[in-house]
Structure formats: C-alpha cells, structure tokens
Amino acid sequence: MNARPSHDAPARKPWKNNLETRLVFWSSLLFLGSLGLIVYVTVMGIPYTPFQGRLDQLRNEMIRHLDLVANLHKEQTEDWLWEKRKDLNFIANNPFLLDEFETWLTEPTDHLASAYLQTISKAYPEFEFLQLVDIAKQLVFSTTTESPEPLIKDRFYHNVLLSNHGYVGSARMLPGRKWPVFRIGHALHNRHGQDVALLVAAVSPVALMERLPNVGDSLGKTGEVFLVNGQGFLISQLKYPPPDGPTPKPLEYQLKSKPELLAASGHEGLILSRDYRNEPVVAAFRHVRISPVWGMGLVVKIDQKELFAPLRQEVTTLVFVSLTVFLLLVLTNALMVRRQTRLLTVLSHAAAQISENDLTIRCGIRGQDEIGGLGQTFDVMAEKLESAFKGQEKEITRHRQTSLNLAQANDELKNFTYIVSHDLRSPLLSIQGFVEELQMDLEALEQPITNLLHDQDDELSRSIQDILHGRLPDDLRYIRASTHKMDGLVNGILNLSRVGRVELHFERLDMQKLVENNINALEFTIREAGVDVSVGTLPPLVSDRFAMEQIFGNLLSNAIKYRDPSRPANIEIHGKEDEKEHRTLFFVQDNGRGIAEDDIQKIFIMFQRVGNQDSPGDGIGLSCVQTLMRRLNGHIRCQSTLGVGTTFLLSFPTIPPQPNSTPWENAE
C-alpha cells in the first residue's frame, strides 16, 4: 500500500490530540493488562476453577513431600526403636546368658559379667552401653565400669519388670553424657520363671537421627528434622542456633513454637507457621507413640523462602519474558498504527481539500486491504464529484440564465399586462362613447323617419321600421353589453397585476378584529341576503394586512353570493394552530350550493366560473386569493359537496418571515 497525494501532506497534530498516540497508548495498556493477567493466572491460578497456579502447585507438592517425609521418619523411628527392643529381647532370651548368670552372681567381684557385656556391645554398636541389674543384690554390671555399682532406684526398672516383652523408656540425661538416651529394658527369669535380673541397653537420639534417610537432600538447604519430648523439650540436635541464646542443651531447652507444641501434645498435621528462629516455615508434625505411657514429637520443616524460591525464579523469568514481549508488541503496534494513521491523515487532508472546493485532490492510496480500498473509492468519488461539479456548474449557469430570462419575461409580461389592460381602456371608452352617440343619432332620426313613412305601407317601409325600431337598438344593446364585459375583464387583469406587484408589509395581526371588520364592511349585503355569520376563536398571525383583508373579503363575498336560496344561509369562520407542523390554519365554511368534485380545481383559474351563473362576476376573485396566498407562503385548499356546502382551508406559516426578505424567499 502506498499513498501518493497530489498536494503536500498535512502537518501532524500535537501528540496529545493525535489518534496515533491514543491508539498506541490504549493498545499498549491492553497488552500490559493482558500480560499482567497471564502472569497472575500463571502464578495464582483462576479462582473457583480447577485450574491451579504455580503457587498452589508448589505448595501442594511441598505439602505432599513433607507429609511423605514426616510419615517416613515417624515409621523409621518407630521401626528403629522396635528393632532395638527386639535385639535386646533376643539377647535376654539367650540360654547361655541365663546359665552363666548364676555363676556371675556367686562371684560378684568376677569380671566375667562385664566382659560378656562388652562382647555383646561390640556385636551391637548402636547400643551406647549395656547394663545387667542384679535384683536380689541391687548391683549393676555395666560396659562403662569394670566393677559392679549399687543400684539407684528408678521407675524405669519398675516398668521393665511389668513388661513381658521389654520396655522402652523416655529420653533421659544420664551423668557424664552430653545427649540424652533412650533406655530399653528386659527382665531375665530363672528356671522357675522368677525375675532375677534386668538387661538394659541405651540408644542415643543422635544415632536415631543419623539413620533417618535423606534428611538433608530431601528437605533442601533449610530443611530440618528434630525430636522433642512430651513437654516440648529438645531431645535431638538443632540445625540452627536459637536467636535468644547459645547452643541449647538437651532436655533443658523448651521449644515454644506451634509445630513443636502440637507434636508434643499428640497432634499430627501440617501448618504454615514460624519456627524457633521466628522464621516463616512449612512444618509437618507427628507424634511418635513409644509406649502407652509416653511418646515424643517429630517435626519436619522447611523455610518458606526456600519453598517459594523456584516460584520467584519462574515469576522473574516470566516477568522478564512478558516485558520483552510487551516492548516488542508496543514497537510493532506503534509501527503499524503509525502507518495506518498516516494513511488516514492523507485521507483527512484530501477530504478537507475537497470541502474547500478543491476537487482536483487525489489521495493516491493503493492496496489490497480496507484502507487501500477506501483510498481507491475516495479517488473514484473525487473524480465523480469533480465531473458532477463541472456539470453542475454548467447546469447552474444555464439555470441562472433561464431564471434571468424568466424574470425578464415575467417583468415584461407584467408590464405588457398592465400596458395592454391600460391601453384597452381607451378604445373601450371610445366605443362606449360612439355607442352613446349612435343611440342619440338613432333617437334623432327615429321621429323624422317615422313621420316620413307614416302613410306608406309597403315592404320597404316595413323593413326600415324593423331596422330602426328592432335591429339597431338590439345591436347597440349587444355592443354596450360587450364593452361593459370587456371593461370588467380589463379591470380584473389590472387588479390581478396589482396583486402580483403590490409590496407586502408583514406585521402582527389580530385576526379576530380583522375578520370582524370585514364582516362589518359587508353588513348591508349580509343583512339583505339574510346570512348568519359566526366567528370562532382566531389565533393571531404575522402577515400583510391588505392581503388578509382581500383574501377574507373575497371568500365572504363568494359565500354570500353563492348561497342556497332553499335554506337559511350560514357562514362559519374559525382557526387553530398546528404546533407539530408550525402552521396556523383558518377555515371558512358555508352551507351554500357547493361545487362539483370535477370543478373544484377550476375555480382558481382566471376568468373560469363553474356552476349556475345567475350571479354577477368576472371569475377573477379566487385567482387573486390564490396569488396572495402564494406570496404569503400560504396554501389554500377547497373541500366541497354539491348541494351541501363548501369549506376553504387557509394555511400560513406560524414562524414569521425573516426581516428584509422577499415573500418568495420564504415559500415552501
């Protein structure tokens, strides 16, 4: 597509009022909103629909992962303690241990018991130490000492005696140790089934935590797993030091954050909360039930910032890509809009030139798209306009010449009518004068000729008498009647000529008073004819007083003249305003003879009379009325039924004519 205007391209409008600026701005805003919506939906998803955003996906994935890890760790913890208890049960049920036990009891100072415990300890390295408790002598043989020590009573030993399959005690800090241990005890019975000793093994929570699989790899850099007892005191190592002090001591440092307290109190679940560092975390908590008496809490957690780090990276990448796409779209759109608006500017300039009557302008836009088609159509339109305008100029010139010729002919016709009608009066007056003189001469000759032919009775005398007394008076009477009729026609032509040339003066008229004055002027004729004239409410009108008097005078005279002698004559005059059409209407209605439907259009023709001609007239009155109505921008219409009556409708514009305007300038 290209634009080849035939004139200089118009100057660009200021950027604030520029269509290009507005299109680029609003389309860029639309692009930005669309990309923002895409980013939002990608991250947050669509509410109330199954579509999940990346935030929900990551959260759900981590929740499932933490649940899986927490369940696995709980299962591993329970299995490990159960396994240690089975190991101790196997050792306690070894027949060799029962056989040798009686020998060890007879010689307490013997080191055989300690040596045997050392051997077992080597076979089970996860046992921190082993103890053999002589219930009768209250002595304790241990892998940590060479000689037996006195038994210090503890509820743990009582619980071991009550258990048939071994007992696992709660974590406890023993003298000389940095970390608490879980003690596992099993009763030893003699051949008579009596409890004679207790076998006790200790395992460390540290060893337990080391056995949990993939503690670090599965929970990322900030992931952590630790154990608390039933009161929330720490029984394993923490990954981070607490913010309120040095490294916490086991069973002396109580964790008070929500996940640890829930796990210690026997609850299980997952929560978004803050940990002991006051950092936002996602934590799964489990309660590990070791025995009917006690249990411990297991907490698996990961920092939220690490959890949502992939999302932040994805959002950053998505925003970067979106902004890059946005800039490319804006640039591409700006180039396209600039190209299209430039073509529209060319079209606008060409249209402006045409509006200034420069029909030689062409936009020169060509192409296969809509604007190209518009440009081609515009040029075709401009060519047709130029051609039509040239033809119109010729037609206007011809019409002006015709109007001038018509005006001249009209003036000549008016002058001719006036001159002819005026000049005809002189011959008519001469004819009338000569007719009167002939009448006088005839009367002067009548007596002598009568006396001369008095005594003669022949055919010649009778013929002369017939001419003198019959034919000549009739001829003179016919000549006199024709001259009178011709004089009336000339007067009618003169009156019609004056009506067409009289200058109109528009003023506000009280039509009620004007019509009543017309009725008063015809009062004698109305009373003599016995006509009843009634006048309704007549609205005021801006018009010429003389013309309105002539119009209503002619219509009243005709209504009186053509009354029906077989019934009382009634004439009604009323009016109204038609606000919708902006016209004022007047009605002159009578119950006279009426007019045949075929003759209604003839009554306005000059010298044309219809119906029974038993009343004097020259047939020019309604022609004058119609001429005056045209000059007043009005219309006259006749509705009549033969033998019933006639109604004349007069319609005038309600809006007054403009000052200093000629009447025909306001004609419809």
How confident is the model at residue 660, as a pLDDT? 43
| 470 belongs to a structural domain | yes
User: What is the band of 668 on the pLDDT scale with cuts at 50, 70, 90?
Assistant: very low
Structural contact between residues 278 and 243, judged by C-beta atoms closer than 8 angstroms: yes
Of 215-229, 253-267, 475-489, 543-557, minimum mean pLDDT range = 475-489
* 292 and 316 inside one domain: no
Distance separating alpha carbons of residues 460 and 450, to the nearest angstrom:
13
- Nearest-5° Cα angle at 376, 373 to 378: 105
At residue 413 the predicted structure's pLDDT band, cuts being 50, 70 and 90, is: low
Full domain range(s) for residue 650 = 504-666
What does residue 636 show for φ and ψ, rounded to 5 degrees? Answer: -125, 135
Q: Does residue 58 sit within a domain?
A: no
Using CA atoms in the order 622, 627, 630, 634, what is the torsion angle rounded to 10 degrees?
-30
Average pLDDT over all residues of the chain: 78
What is the tally of structural domains in the chain?
Answer: 4
- 630 shares a domain with 547: yes
The residue type of 137 is K
d(CA 165, CA 185): 9
Asked whether the predicted pLDDT for residue 14 surpasses 50, the reply is: yes
Region 303-315: what's the mean pLDDT? 81
229 shares a domain with 279: yes
Q: In this structure, are 162 and 286 located in the same domain?
A: yes
CA distance 20 to 348: 14
Both 543 and 473 in one domain: the answer is no
- Predicted confidence at residue 3, as pLDDT, reads 47
Bridge pairing between strands 569-578 and 531-535: parallel
Checking if the pLDDT of 269 tops 80, the result is yes
* pLDDT given for residue 666 in this prediction: 39
- Residue 522 DSSP SS3: coil
Domain assignment present for 1 = no
pLDDT band at residue 34, thresholds of 50, 70 and 90?
confident
- Asked if the structure places residue 148 within a domain, the reply is yes
Q: What is the pLDDT of residue 615?
A: 59
For residue 369, is it within any domain? no
pLDDT in tens, 54-112: 777 777 887 888 888 889 888 888 888 888 889 888 888 877 666 666 666 566 555 67
Looking at 467, 496, 525, the residue that finishes a domain is 496
Strands of the sheet with 129-134, listed across from one edge: 149-150, 139-142, 129-134, 195-203, 182-189, 167-168
Q: Note whether residue 3 is domain-resident.
A: no
Q: Are residues 436 and 563 both part of a single domain?
A: no
Stated length of the chain: 668
For residues 644 and 560, state if they share a domain: yes
Predicted pLDDT of residue 284? 92
Q: What is the pLDDT of residues 465-491, one digit of tens each?
A: 777 677 777 777 777 766 766 666 666
User: In CATH, what number is assigned to the domain containing residue 513?
Assistant: 3.30.565.10
Same domain, 603 and 555: yes
| pLDDT single digits (tens) 116-155 | 788 888 888 888 888 888 888 888 888 888 778 888 888 8
